[in-house]
Amino acid sequence: MFNLGHLLSKLQYAKCVLCEANAHNTLGICQACWQDLPWQINTCCPQCGLTSSNVTCGQCLSQPPFYDATQALFEYAYPIDALLQAFKYQQQLYLGHMFAQISLKKFQPTDIDCIVPMPMHPARLQERGFNQSLELANGIAKQLHLPVASKHSHRIKNTPPQASLPLKARVKNIKGAFSCDDYFVGKHVAIVDDVMTSGASLNELAKTLKQAGANKVSCWVVARTY
């Protein structure tokens, strides 16, 4: 059957999205550019994903976040930052598909029961036209045969963008922003998001999920800032 999406993705992937050399793969990144990507270094705190010698960092020990684990594909640096911006603000949806494919090569889906995209407020959704985290979550979940629980988790407060605020204000800004129903009782939930900066949004969502009965929360993000 004719499938336009499939055809478009084939066209996009013929050339590397970064250097336009022949990509020779379905990911859309040639071998040389692939090796140059700012991959997340291996030694990081398993809980928050910040640099540490593979043990829980002092910050997580003294003030544990509500999420239990963090896996990040990349450091938020060039060209990942540019690709994520193109994905989000120029609606380059094939990049979301590409990041979902790369995620599948890296994320360890141990005992995950369901995937939750970082919810977007309906007003923001209307502005942007799509939720980038939902695109990523759908791509990942489909391959892993996991349910996407986007109908059970909502953003009930339309807050100013976190990026515009200093850390303390971010925590306050996001407080009470989410609501989750009892679908999550007893589940290990993986939250999918594009970028993790202070982790304040992920932490607030993890807190809300735990209050709704989730027993474990992992964060899967494309890129992490340090």
User: How much of the chain is helix, strand and coil, in % rounded to 5?
Assistant: 40, 20, 40
Residue from 40, 47, 132, 150 in contact with Zn ion (CB under 5 A) = 47
Choice between 57 and 165, CB closer to Zn ion = 57
* For Zn ion, the closer CB: 48 or 112: 48
Residue of 16, 137, 190, 209 interacting with Zn ion (CB under 5 A): 16
| Segment interacting with Zn ion (CB under 5 A) among 54-62, 112-120, 143-151, 170-178 | 54-62
Is 72 near Zn ion (CB under 5 A)? no
Among 9, 15, 19, 81, binds Zn ion (CB under 5 A): 19
Cα–Cα distance between 113 and 15 in angstroms, integer? 36
Burial class (CB in 10 A: 0-12, 13-18, 19+), 49: buried
Q: Report the interhelical angle of 93-106 vs 4-13 (nearest 10°).
A: 80
Query: Considering the complex, what minimum distance in angstroms separates the CB of residue 32 from Zn ion?
Result: 6
Q: What is the DSSP letter of 148?
A: B
- Kindly tell me which residue out of 13, 18, 103, 192 binds Zn ion, with binding defined by CB under 5 A: 18
Part of the chain binding Zn ion (CB under 5 A), chosen from 27-35, 84-92, 133-141, 175-183: 27-35
Please give the backbone phi and psi of residue 56, each rounded to the nearest 5 degrees, phi first.
-60, 130
User: Toward Zn ion, which CB reaches closer, 59 or 159?
Assistant: 59
Which of 82, 98, 102 is CA-nearest to residue 13? 98
